[in-house]
Chain A
Amino acid sequence: MVDSAAPLPGQKPAAEPAATKTTTPPPVEKIGVLRWLKENLFSSPFNTVLTIITLFLLADWIPSFFQWGVIDAVWYTTDHNVCRAADGACWAVVAEKHRPMLFGVYPYEEHWRLVVALIVYMITIILTLTPRFWNLKILVPLWIVGGGTVALMLWGGLFGLTYVDSSQWGGLPLTMVLFTGTVVIGFPISILFALGRRSHLPAIKAICVTLIESMRGVPLITILFVAVNVFPLFLPEGMEIDKLFRVIVGMAIFFACYQAEVIRGGLQAIPRGQYEAAEALGLGYWQHTVKIIMPQALRICLPGIVNHIIAALKNTSFVLIIGLFDILTATTAVMQDPLWRRFFVEAYLFVAVVYFIFCYALSKYSQKVEGWLSEGRRF
């Protein structure tokens, strides 16, 4: 009986004396830089025209941008008139205003606490994202210590640190608090919503579907309006909940409804056999969900999950509308300064770079994790 051929490369040298082989080199025009240029820039008349037009435009833009952003730019000055006199960019606005942009209205003398908080926060996040530390025995203490330090630095009130109310928090640390709060509160909710939407119990399913679909149908702004304007009306007389906390919960539920749809996709992609195997082992609903189904589902939809986490980070900027001083609100407020107002492009570019670094790093990280998963690496 015939079968498909086994590859032979191992035996080849024995079967054929190398001397008889005529090894012809590839034609010269097909190798090296020239080939690269031909294949990637001039492969057809249309492509050639496209390349020439693009090069022409770039030759026009890049030097003038370089002239503006580097050669003619003012890098450091405390005098806005120096910037006004210059033709180029005024990066000095960032140097001059970086404190209010990064830290908002937080008491000036206490800014060092925010620097400490940011450093501790970044270390905590980086360690959390390192696979070597993916172990609850490390992560739980890490987050207790990290979160505790950040909270202590932000609020103060202990160890001789003056108390700073959450209404005075601002800038990048506030963005971090909003982002982390949203994801940490929202993620568990999203898992419950996703399971609820796939539930066999009609009442639970109906409630989850209604909630998820209505949240996804309205703009985030309206949710923030509810958190700020309507929610206080829900509380009995005399009871108040911190505005920052209300906003975070609102954003977390909004985040959870989008994330629930992603996780539902992951749950749907798991073959029926996995459920049947889990039930055959005699595991109860919560046991098989937590131990068998959920880990697989989360793996499958990892790219989608990270996309929505990135969206959550970008969405923190919506608090501009309700007057919380995150990095963007703080910058916008700083740009009301009539002396420096005309250098808004530089200031907003700086903020854009901050957001870009975090979002881009997160998306690159998720691609890396996807790579590890497809290699079958175990964590």
Chain B
Amino acid sequence: MADIQAPRKSNTSILNSIAFRGVAYQVLLAAGVAFIGYYLYVNVNANLERQGIATGFDFLSEDAGFDIGESVIPFDSSQSYGRVLVAGILNTLHVAIVGVFLATIVGVLMGIARVSRNWLVSKLASGYVEVCRNVPVVLHVIFWASVIRNLPSPRQAITPFDGIFITNRGIIYPIPEAHGIYPWLGVALVVGIIGAFVLGRRAQKRREETGQFIPTFWPGLGLILGLPTVVWLAAGAPLVWDVPALRGFNYQGGASLTPEFVALLIGITVYTGAFIAEIVRAGIQSVQHGQVEAARSLGLRPGLVMRLVILPQALRVIVPPTTSQYLSLTKNSSLGVLIGYPDLVNVGNTTLNQTGQAVEAIAIMMLVYLLISLTISVFMNTYNRLVAIQER
């Protein structure tokens, strides 16, 4: 105040320093977050105490007391909440893995169909994509669940092939009866796959050294399929089909897919397949036509152009968004709760209702999904780093 002659001080005030402001904002924000966290914690504790709800994860070792329709691991209602949650996680992974596999097939076929030069095929594929991605996945799942619920009862089952029965109790199909040699068929298959892999590597090395081409596709396929066949024949070709048969109101024998599993699987596959088709189309179209022309003008056959030039470039564009579709499919498998498929969210929800421990139950669900997402993201980032195209 006294010294009006002095240079204007306000400009050098600490409050205008960018560094100070930065620190101040962050301290304020951190304090705010910490305060809100503490406030919520206090409230939650008070509310839980008042309602007489237990806290902590002790309930995991208590008896669940409810049964689930299907499980990858053996489970019955006398086992613990912990085990039923593990069964739920495995069911989630089960439907998600099969779904990812099928959605990829659907998506790749439809994506290729969309860029087909065949007008009819490409229009039909775009029809599928537009219709299926503009309708909510919830509706897809509910719709298919209703369709299956309204299928004929086991007595009037639809039989597309002998021994396969499509009913409102699920899809029942025959499987070969267990036999001592079958585990060895699996071993033979693995050996065959390794053999085919080695064959491919050696053929590549040979080609690089001498320029000679050794066909690998048919010999490789022969190894993979032939080795188990040979083992099977050597064991005297044992094969007895366990064909399901109607006994009373349901089938006995064979194996079955539950209606809930089938409905959830079809719903999320059809929905995600449409998104993957769109990604595949964009990926193929992202490879410039000049690349094809350059490859053709070097004398490469169309098959080689696809394998050496188009696919490696298209895959770089296709893989990252497809992975997030896989993640989204996995998260959408939580719609099992709607139609009674015992996935993680479904059993978690039952646990929540029985124990009242909402915070813990929901935290478990979220953490498991986060873990799945993080695992896939880590793989993804590694892949992207490996294949990134170098630019200046």
Question: Across the interface, do B139 and A348 meet the contact criterion of CB distance under 8 Å?
Answer: yes
Q: Please pick, from A320, A321, A359, the residue contacting B134 in the complex, using a CB distance under 8 A.
A: A359
Question: Across the interface, do B130 and A345 meet the contact criterion of CB distance under 8 Å?
Answer: no
- Tell me whether B352 is interfacial, beta carbon within 8 Å: yes
CA distance A115 to B120 in the complex (A): 41
Given contacts A41-B120, A234-B43, contact A216 B373 (CB under 8 A): yes
By a CB distance below 8 angstroms, the chain B residues around A226 are: 362
Question: Across the interface, do A351 and B139 meet the contact criterion of CB distance under 8 Å?
Answer: yes
- Tell me whether B369 is interfacial, beta carbon within 8 Å: yes
Question: Across the interface, do A203 and B29 meet the contact criterion of CB distance under 8 Å?
Answer: yes
Question: Across the interface, do B142 and A222 meet the contact criterion of CB distance under 8 Å?
Answer: no
Question: Across the interface, do A237 and B373 meet the contact criterion of CB distance under 8 Å?
Answer: no
By a CB distance below 8 angstroms, the chain A residues around B370 are: 214, 217-218
- A/B pair count, beta carbons within 8 Å: 152
Question: Across the interface, do A207 and B150 meet the contact criterion of CB distance under 8 Å?
Answer: no
By a CB distance below 8 angstroms, the chain B residues around A328 are: 136, 138-139, 142
- Tell me whether A128 is interfacial, beta carbon within 8 Å: no
Question: Across the interface, do A54 and B121 meet the contact criterion of CB distance under 8 Å?
Answer: yes
CA distance A344 to B150 in the complex (A): 9
Q: Return the chain B residue nearest A236 by Cβ.
A: B43
Question: Across the interface, do B134 and A310 meet the contact criterion of CB distance under 8 Å?
Answer: yes
Report B102-120 CB contacts with A as 1/0, cut-off 8 Å: 0000000000000011111
By a CB distance below 8 angstroms, the chain B residues around A200 are: 22
Q: Please pick, from A54, A219, A342, A356, the residue contacting B345 in the complex, using a CB distance under 8 A.
A: A219
By a CB distance below 8 angstroms, the chain A residues around B124 are: 54
CA distance A271 to B121 in the complex (A): 41
| CB interface residues, A 334-371, toward B, < 8 Å | 335, 342, 344-345, 348, 351-352, 355-356, 359-360, 363
CA distance A41 to B121 in the complex (A): 9
By a CB distance below 8 angstroms, the chain B residues around A234 are: 40, 43-44
By a CB distance below 8 angstroms, the chain A residues around B136 are: 314-317, 328, 355
CA distance A203 to B31 in the complex (A): 11
Question: Across the interface, do A229 and B138 meet the contact criterion of CB distance under 8 Å?
Answer: no
- Tell me whether B47 is interfacial, beta carbon within 8 Å: yes
Q: Please pick, from A222, A335, A360, A363, the residue contacting B366 in the complex, using a CB distance under 8 A.
A: A222
Give how many A residues have a beta carbon under 8 Å from the other chain's beta carbons: 55
Question: Across the interface, do B33 and A230 meet the contact criterion of CB distance under 8 Å?
Answer: no
By a CB distance below 8 angstroms, the chain A residues around B44 are: 233-234
CA distance A46 to B158 in the complex (A): 34
Question: Across the interface, do B337 and A321 meet the contact criterion of CB distance under 8 Å?
Answer: yes
A13 to chain B minimum Cβ distance, whole angstroms, is: 34
Given contacts A230-B359, A317-B139, A356-B131, contact A218 B118 (CB under 8 A): no
A320 to chain B minimum Cβ distance, whole angstroms, is: 6
- Tell me whether A149 is interfacial, beta carbon within 8 Å: no
Question: Across the interface, do B118 and A40 meet the contact criterion of CB distance under 8 Å?
Answer: yes
- Chain A interface, DSSP helix/strand/loop, else mixed: helix
Q: Please pick, from B30, B117, B118, B373, the residue contacting A203 in the complex, using a CB distance under 8 A.
A: B30
- Tell me whether B263 is interfacial, beta carbon within 8 Å: no
By a CB distance below 8 angstroms, the chain A residues around B331 are: 218-220
By a CB distance below 8 angstroms, the chain A residues around B25 are: 201, 204
- Tell me whether B135 is interfacial, beta carbon within 8 Å: yes
Question: Across the interface, do A355 and B369 meet the contact criterion of CB distance under 8 Å?
Answer: no
- Tell me whether B291 is interfacial, beta carbon within 8 Å: no
Q: Return the chain B residue nearest A357 by Cβ.
A: B134
- Tell me whether A235 is interfacial, beta carbon within 8 Å: yes
Most-contacted residue by chain A among B50, B130, B146 (CB, 10 A): B146
CA distance A310 to B130 in the complex (A): 13
Given contacts A217-B373, A314-B136, A360-B130, contact A233 B43 (CB under 8 A): yes
Question: Across the interface, do A43 and B117 meet the contact criterion of CB distance under 8 Å?
Answer: yes
| CB interface residues, B 61-76, toward A, < 8 Å | none
By a CB distance below 8 angstroms, the chain A residues around B143 are: 344-345, 348, 352
Question: Across the interface, do A218 and B117 meet the contact criterion of CB distance under 8 Å?
Answer: no
By a CB distance below 8 angstroms, the chain B residues around A155 are: none
By a CB distance below 8 angstroms, the chain B residues around A204 are: 25-26, 29
Question: Across the interface, do B117 and A314 meet the contact criterion of CB distance under 8 Å?
Answer: no
- Tell me whether B229 is interfacial, beta carbon within 8 Å: no
- Tell me whether A221 is interfacial, beta carbon within 8 Å: yes
CA distance A151 to B358 in the complex (A): 33
CA distance A207 to B370 in the complex (A): 17
CA distance A335 to B22 in the complex (A): 58
Q: Please pick, from A51, A201, A219, A222, the residue contacting B26 in the complex, using a CB distance under 8 A.
A: A201
- Tell me whether A202 is interfacial, beta carbon within 8 Å: yes
Q: Return the chain A residue nearest B356 by Cβ.
A: A229
- Tell me whether A55 is interfacial, beta carbon within 8 Å: yes
CA distance A317 to B139 in the complex (A): 8
Report A181-206 CB contacts with B as 1/0, cut-off 8 Å: 00000000000000000001111100
- Tell me whether A318 is interfacial, beta carbon within 8 Å: yes
By a CB distance below 8 angstroms, the chain A residues around B237 are: none
Question: Across the interface, do A55 and B120 meet the contact criterion of CB distance under 8 Å?
Answer: yes
By a CB distance below 8 angstroms, the chain B residues around A232 are: 47
Q: Return the chain B residue nearest A48 by Cβ.
A: B118
By a CB distance below 8 angstroms, the chain B residues around A373 are: none
- Tell me whether A269 is interfacial, beta carbon within 8 Å: no
By a CB distance below 8 angstroms, the chain B residues around A43 are: 117-118
By a CB distance below 8 angstroms, the chain A residues around B130 are: 360
Q: Return the chain B residue nearest A344 by Cβ.
A: B146
By a CB distance below 8 angstroms, the chain A residues around B372 are: 217
Question: Across the interface, do A356 and B134 meet the contact criterion of CB distance under 8 Å?
Answer: yes
CA distance A47 to B29 in the complex (A): 63
A250 to chain B minimum Cβ distance, whole angstroms, is: 12
CA distance A359 to B134 in the complex (A): 6
CA distance A216 to B43 in the complex (A): 27
- Identify the A interface with B (CB < 8 A): 39-41, 43, 47, 50-51, 54-55, 200-204, 207, 214, 216-222, 225-226, 229-230, 232-237, 310, 314-318, 320-321, 328, 332, 335, 342, 344-345, 348, 351-352, 355-356, 359-360, 363
> Could you pull out 25 A-B pairs where Cβ atoms are within 8 angstroms?
A40-B120, A41-B120, A47-B118, A50-B118, A201-B26, A204-B26, A207-B33, A218-B369, A219-B334, A219-B365, A222-B366, A225-B365, A226-B362, A233-B358, A235-B43, A314-B135, A315-B136, A317-B139, A321-B337, A328-B139, A328-B142, A344-B143, A348-B142, A356-B131, A356-B134
The 8 A-B pairs of least Cβ separation, nearest first, read A217-B373, A203-B26, A40-B119, A359-B134, A219-B331, A314-B136, A317-B136, A229-B358
Sample of 18 further A-B pairs with CB below 8 A, known A40-B117, A50-B118: A40-B120, A41-B120, A54-B118, A54-B121, A200-B22, A203-B26, A203-B27, A217-B373, A234-B44, A235-B47, A236-B46, A314-B137, A320-B142, A335-B146, A352-B135, A355-B135, A359-B135, A363-B134
